[in-house]
Structure 1
Amino acid sequence: MMYMPRSGAIAAGVCGALLVGYCIYFDRKRRSDPNFRSRLRQRRKQQKLDQERVGQIKLPDLKDSEAVQKFFLEEIQLGEELLAQGEFEACVEHLSNAISVCGQPQQLLQVLQQTLPPPVFQMLLTRLPSVSQRISSAQSLSEEDIEE
């Protein structure tokens, strides 16, 4: 019975060594891939373009209901297309834009909860406060411009 903790420690050490060896093997295999660097550059470039595109979203005049409705429908459609392509970050960005200009966001959230995969819906919930804050600050800036 005294040998159990010692054998358990040895087994844990062996498993740890195997895990490190596994990681080193696949890291070398990944780095020796001739397309690794080009795919990495392409992925980083795409992420940068996505971030720039997100920052350049033109918000509608929230007093113009027709413009808001058009913006809402476009954002929902883009979100659905990106979801189908598996681009969850961009999908969440567009859906959160749509929710932030929606007249009844709670009902829309209930529908999205039923239709979106749970991890994507969680991403959406965590993203909503920052998007709502950005839209409200953009609205207050536009109102200040009108008053001056």
Structure 2
Amino acid sequence: MISKSTFSIAAAGAGLCFLGYCIYFDHKRRSDPKFKQKLREKRKKARTEKSTKSSTPFPDLSNPEAMQKFFLQEVQQGEELLATGDIEGGVEHLSNAVAVCGQPQQLLQVLQQTLPPQVFQLLIQKLPSVSQRLVGSAAQSMPTSAGLAEDDIE
């Protein structure tokens, strides 16, 4: 039978060996000449994936039914994501809903009363970029064959 002290010494030794192993390989990884380059590429790839993932396509702005369906869908998705703890995703969907809403000021007042202040602040910060995306998608969907060049549209 192994005594308690022998067992605790063996456990401490195993812990130190594991810690040494971690330190050695972390040092080896960080001293790699291409470590920073690989890290930057990985972060850039993650950022681009996130930005393309979060770009929800807007529906046809001339179709009121599609706009209403999109609005309700975005509000629902935003609430679900906020409830699960995905703040950024929830804010993204809620900002899409505010951008296509017929009465955005009233919706913002309701959201200000129901959302925590930090989340509402993120929503306010997100609105300009979403509005630009909405205007961009509206400009792309407009027919330019009616005698107007793209440069003529202001």
Q: Answer yes or no: same fold by TM over 0.5.
A: yes
Q: Distance in 1 between matches of 2:75 and 2:146?
A: 32
Give how far 1:65 is off.
Answer: 0.5
Q: Distance in 1 between matches of 2:69 and 2:80?
A: 17
Q: Tell me which residue corresponds to 1:54.
A: 54
Q: Tell me which residue corresponds to 1:12.
A: none
Q: Tell me which residue corresponds to 1:131.
A: 130
Question: What are the residue-to-residue correspondences of 1:31-50 with 2, within 5 Å?
Answer: 49-50=49-50
Q: Distance in 2 between matches of 1:83 and 1:145?
A: 40
By percentage of residues, which structure has more helix? 1
Question: What are the residue-to-residue correspondences of 1:13-28 with 2, within 5 Å?
Answer: none
Contact 1:50 1:90 in 2 (8 A): no
Q: Distance in 2 between matches of 1:58 and 1:72?
A: 12
Give how far 1:141 is off.
Answer: 1.4
Count residues with an aligned counterpart.
110
Give how far 1:50 is off.
Answer: 4.0
Deviations 1:80-106 (A, max 9, x none): 000001111111110000000000000
Give how far 1:52 is off.
Answer: 2.5
Question: What are the residue-to-residue correspondences of 1:1-148 with 2, within 5 Å?
Answer: 49-55=49-55, 57-144=56-143, 147=146
Counterpart of 2:86, as a letter, is E
Classify the secondary structure of the residue corresponding to 2:142. Answer: helix
Q: Distance in 2 between matches of 1:109 and 1:146?
A: 37
Unaligned runs of 5+ residues in structure 1 are 1-27, 33-43
Q: Tell me which residue corresponds to 2:6.
A: none
Counterpart of 2:112, as a letter, is Q
Query: 1:71–1:146: structure 2 CA closer, same or farther, 3 Å change rule?
Result: farther
Query: 1:67–1:117: structure 2 CA closer, same or farther, 3 Å change rule?
Result: same
Contact 1:54 1:93 in 2 (8 A): yes
Q: Distance in 1 between matches of 2:90 and 2:141?
A: 26
Q: Tell me which residue corresponds to 1:16.
A: none
User: Percent identity between the aligned chains?
Assistant: 55
Unaligned runs of 5+ residues in structure 2 are 1-18, 24-42, 148-154
Query: 1:48–1:120: structure 2 CA closer, same or farther, 3 Å change rule?
Result: same
Give how far 1:51 is off.
Answer: 2.9
Give how far 1:62 is off.
Answer: 0.9
